Amino acid sequence: MADPIRWARYRWQRLISTEGREGSSPSNSSNKCHQSSKAIGKHRIVIPCLGHFKEEYEKVSKLYMNNKIQTTKYTLLNFLPRNLFEQFHRVANLYFLFLVVLNWVPLVEAFQKEITMLPLVAVLTIIAVKDGLEDYSKYKMDKKINNLLTKVYSRKEKKYIDECWKNVNVGDFIRLSRNEIIPADMVLLYSSDLNGICYIETASLDGETNLKQRQVVRGYSEQVSEIDPEKFSSRIECESPNNDLGHFRGFVEHSNKDRVGLIKENLLLRGCTVRNTEAVVGIVVYAGHETKAMLNNTGPHYKRSKLERKVNTDILWCVLLLILMCLTGAIGHGIWLSRYSEVPFFTIPEPGRKLIPPALAAFNVFWTMIILLQVLIPISLYVSIEIVKLGQIYLIQNDIDFYHETTDSTIQCRALNIAEDLGQIQYIFSDKTGTLTENKMVFRRCSIAGQEYCHEENAKRLESYQEVDSEDEDSADHQCGSSMHMSKWQGHDCRAVNEPLNRKSLSLLSGSHSALGREDGGRDAPCSGHVAFSSPIETDVVPDTQLLKKFSQISSHSYDQSEASSKLSLETMYITDFFLALAICNTVVVSVPSQPHQKMRLSSLGRMPIKSLEEIRQMFQRLSVRRLSSSPLPSVKESSSESPSSFVSKLSVFRMKMASPALDEAAQRAAELHNMDSPENSQVPQELDMVNVAVGCEHNSATSSIELSPLPKLCYEAESPDEAALVHAARAYRCILQSRTPDQVTVDFPGLGSLKFQLLHILPFDSVRKRMSVVVRHPVSNKVVVYTKGADSVMMDLLRTASEDTNNSEMEQKIKERTQKHLDDYARRGLRTLCIAKKAMSDAEYAEWLNHHFSAETSIDNREELLLESAIRLETELTLLGATGIEDRLQEGVSDTIQALRKAGIKIWMLTGDKRETAVNIAYACKLLEPDDIIFTLESQNKDACASMMSKILEGIQKNASKKQPGQKLGNVSASLSTQSPGFSAGLVIDGWTLEHVLHDSLQNVFLELTEKCRAVVCCRATPLQKSVLVRLVRSKLKAMTLAVGDGANDVSMIQVADTGVGISGQEGMQAVMASDFAVCQFRHLKKLLLVHGHWCYTRLTNMVLYFFYKNVAYVNLLFWYQFFCGFSGTSMTDYWILILFNLLFTSVPPIIYGVLDKDVSAEVLLQLPQLYMMSQKSLAYLPSTFWITLLDAFYQSIVCFFVPYFTYYGSDIDIFSFGNLINTAALFIILFHLLIECKSVTWIHTVVVVGSILFYFVFTLAFGATCKTHNPSSNPYWIMEQHMTDPVFYLVCLLTTCVALLPRYLLRVLQGTLFPSQVLRAKHLDRLTPKEQREAIKRWRDDCVVNCRVELHATSGSFSSVTGAVSEEESVASVLPTSKTPL
């Protein structure tokens, strides 16, 4: 085919014209498109706001929002009604509102109307002020954002003018400069970059600091000058607004009905920042609240804690108790009135009104009692809980142990209302990569053409490697000579190849390659601190000496002769393609530290003046390269950044020595132009000298001055650490990725020089295909080549089958078998594995695939499915090149953390997408699996085999369980948590295929029953969806408290489904952190977060809640007992102000301090004895029995508090308010001293608060009685407290009442601490010992636990062997065998 480019272009136009004919006619196409999109609701038509589109724009623009945003809920007019409406959605507030309204009814009025309103008004005001302040801060932020300025094209003034963001509309043209924030979602139509690239920073959306490439819409990138909006005659059809940040579907339809597909790389998202690009122009497609950023801004997520749900249940019990007490009062009042045969003297009817019958009076008293005893429902409890949680969060965030010095970050508490759930976790679901491991990918081993290269020198470097800070790296860079010429390290490397690698030569080789990396493709120290995956442990790779020797044989001649039968040349081809795939098959962005993210050009510019070279560069780029890049099949492009002599030399060599098609006419004319401009280089060399990269020597004297010039420093920014590791590994062998543009990748390869691959397509990685591919045109062979890397589980099935060439077929089969053996070995070592493959295509084959692919690209509906089919169609008949093994090291303290969490009774599941062998070995390395564990591996191809395997395993385990614990129910989570860990030493490993079967409804219960009997579960090859389904299954079926922890975007769904989500702020962006409830820096921080702060938060909050119930019930019962002596009339013996303020002010602060600062066991002991976590995990502090015992104690104390003063003054003439004041004061002492008894650690803060509350009460009552003679019509507390304080009986009664009331609780606590202490009390005693005694006591405690575990394990060891033998018969269907126990 003479001109494949023109042919493909013709085929493409035919395809577009066919689609155009199938559509509507030109006259009414826009209207029909608009109507169809409006009817379907899936598409959006974007028309520019210009004169020739004016009428159509006015019709369409009415349907779309402008760019003004409003995140506030309130305005000045609706704040009060809307805030009250929202607050009264709470049942407690509605209840107290009902009481306020009820108190306004004269027949049932108990208090003065204003007094009844006081608690409710106080709570509503506090919350309203808080909501108002939060909303006002949002208003100020919205106003600031809406008034930001941007350049918008004005139709009237025919130029770009400054306009506020809020005035931007869909269809407007926006012009942005460097470091400006993008105001709306816009399609990129122009970039000042020569290659049509725009770099954006998406940290505000996903937290990733790596810059992303965006490119101009295909067809517009060839423009020499900036796009003129007046000449824009196209329309855009895209999908309706949605929150999917990873996809964008649509097309641009030109006036001639040609369509160009739109992808996410063409879309600039609102909130992102333009970086390293001088100017960009785009047209707005989504504005305001329809932008993807705003649609993803769902606000804070709310989760209800388990304790909160339990508190709501107990409040209902209090409501029932209140109704019972009120019914008692109503019935008693009716009986009391019916005892009078005549009209009682105190019942004086008003003039003109009849007497109320006893039954109606009893009914009225019922509602009066509701008002009187309203404090039984603790309205202040809700406010106190919120304050206590804020205090607990403050203490967590200020814990210095959570600070991570490397990242200069600490824990983030993003959910303020579930801190207590940290103390009740039963299951932890953890990702592996980046969560248990460091996510620092280190290249360790590789296999090429069936030959393994162990990289032992690199392994020795890693063993002795220690991370240094940035200052040390700076000095190391200078010592290594990052700006050294190649001639300075030439001699050292020559010796390094031929001599054995001793310690000195190894370090020298490492240093030289480190220096080379910093010269060619690495980072200098200032750059490394701002880019992920760029630490020295990742970037500095020491090459394998054997592979280096083979690299020395690579040249253009050897590559050209690779088709020959020579085994050596064939191996050379495999090595070349393998490292080319490592350097090309990725999305790594290349930049220079001094001029980041600009197009890279070699520093060897020859002797031509800079000015003339710049002119030639611009002319060549705009006239030749741009014209050719517009074609679907672009031709070979040679960058003019090289000298003319180099350019012509390479073209001549390719013409004379390579068996490749001739260059197209335009490229040849460009070559001739350069040849004429450089007459001194007109003579073409007859052959290229071979460059020995292994020794770094340059033998070509004609170009020595060019080659020895310093190369620019390169920065690699990768989206994943795997990509960065592979690129740095290729760089270590001098296969250097020099630059990347949307249509070209430049690689500097030893022996072949600078290779410029035309980048035709990138097929990104997805969880379905589990691979990534790039389609390029090879500059040497001029063929279309597909490079693919992916998981071996899918790649091995895509390799080509036996062909006619028997020798090649046998060789490829041997390579496949050897590579698979190497992959299995890598997995057993805990390495992450990838397969590398290629495929060469003819132009006809590529053009045929291209037609289908362009159809998928330009479709809006089902676009992902069509693109997936297109990728699968391309990725077949691959040739296996080799495989890589990358190490991801465990984080610091992971093993200790997992062991501690397991001792705490927490089951840990590891959910990963890696291979089974890799996952199992990492599980052994982090102590998730122990060497003595019996490991059951579930692998089945169908549901029936999976069901039978699980049944046989369960049968053996159940037999053992029946012997050990007869009658125990397998579905009981709490039982299994307490007995499984010491009794059963088994682990379960299951892969993603089998997960599909076990997640079926019919197998879920059996699977969960099996997992309950295994203390660890490892799920490998699991997809993100399967992770979330597993978490939801355990949470819903077992009613267990779950925690999910991860660091990447693939863990977001799992984190959101769990009761508590924890994000690791690692190197894969901040998606997991932004979706989590808590964010930590390292997995080891979970140990203290759960075992210490989780335990503290739960015990503190539960004790405070129980204390609130006790306090309110005890105080309300004082009023209830008085009703027996006042005819159940609803009268209070205490002034109403004192009654209301007793709970609102006098006794409100001490329980809050108690809930924030109480500490039953020190952090040191909790960390050393993880078993103590089970106390909070099993909710022992807040059992139903504990709640009712607390209420009974409150009843007892209220009886003592009422009747001791009653019998003391029995028969005396004490007045009602003097009697009530005595009871009130005694109740204050009882309630506060009760709190001191319950406090596990009394600090000076507790003392100050308790003493302060007592003093405040006395000061208030003294001032109250001295200043106000009459507050209510029937009350007169004047001078009562003053008189009591001069009466010795008052002090004696208060002392006696307090002692008698608190004596049972005090004796109970004493007996608990001496005769039958709990685990927590025993641990608390350890804090009082000396450090030496404490260590000995803890050691004895641990030894006792170990002895108990060994006894139980010995009793169960026999049955496990029978289980293993029972299931081994069906090994061919589903293997249930102990897995290799070799640690990492």
Q: Are 964 and 1352 in contact (CB under 8 A)?
A: yes
The 3-state DSSP class for residue 464 equals: coil
Question: What phi and psi values does residue 260 have, to the nearest 5 degrees?
Answer: -125, 125
Q: For Cα atoms 1223, 1224, 1225, give the angle at the middle one, nearest 5 degrees.
A: 95
Q: Is 866 exposed, middle or buried (0-12, 13-18, 19+ CB in 10 A)?
A: middle
Q: How far apart are CA 160 and CA 49, in angstroms?
A: 13
Gyration radius from the chain CA atoms: 39
Q: Are 189 and 234 in contact (CB under 8 A)?
A: no
Amino acid (1-letter code) at residue 478: H
106 CB-near residues (< 8 Å, 6+ apart): none
The DSSP symbol for 1089 reads: I
Place of tokens 């057993």: 828
- Please give the structure tokens belonging to residue 495: 């010796």
Q: How far apart are CA 717 and CA 734, in angstroms?
A: 18
Amino acid (1-letter code) at residue 4: P
List, as one string, the DSSP characters of 76-143: TTTHHHHHHHHHTTSHHHHHHHHHHHHHTSGGG--S-HHHHHHHHHHHHHHHHHHHHHHHHHHHHHHH
Amino acid (1-letter code) at residue 545: T
Q: How far apart are CA 340 and CA 358, in angstroms?
A: 10
Q: How far apart are CA 1175 and CA 1322, in angstroms?
A: 13
Report how far Cα 831 is from the mean position of its chain's Cα atoms. 24
- Please give the structure tokens belonging to residue 1363: 């289980």
The DSSP symbol for 1121 reads: H
Q: Which residues pair with 937 in a beta bridge?
A: 989
Question: What phi and psi values does residue 1125 have, to the nearest 5 degrees?
Answer: -115, 5
Question: What phi and psi values does residue 887 have, to the nearest 5 degrees?
Answer: -95, 135
Q: How far apart are CA 1310 and CA 1333, in angstroms?
A: 23
Q: How far apart are CA 1043 and CA 1035, in angstroms?
A: 10
Residue 64's alpha-carbon distances to 67, 189, 263, 480, 1313, in angstroms, are: 10, 21, 21, 59, 70
Q: Which helix (H) or strand (E) holds 737?
A: strand 736-741
Q: How far apart are CA 871 and CA 878, in angstroms?
A: 13
Q: Which residues pair with 1062 in a beta bridge?
A: 1045, 1078
User: 683: closest CA among 661, 704, 702?
Assistant: 702
HEC string of 769-817? Answer: CCEEEEEEECCCCCCEEEEEEECHHHHHHHECCCCCCHHHHHHHHHHHH
Question: What phi and psi values does residue 1041 have, to the nearest 5 degrees?
Answer: -85, 125
Which one from 431, 524, 792, 888 is the annotated catalytic residue? 431
Report how far Cα 326 is from the mean position of its chain's Cα atoms. 52
Q: Are 628 and 637 in contact (CB under 8 A)?
A: yes
Amino acid (1-letter code) at residue 253: E
694 CB-near residues (< 8 Å, 6+ apart): 493, 497, 543, 548, 549, 551, 552, 750
Widest CA span in the chain: 136
Query: Does the active-site annotation cover 1215?
Result: no
Active site residues: 431
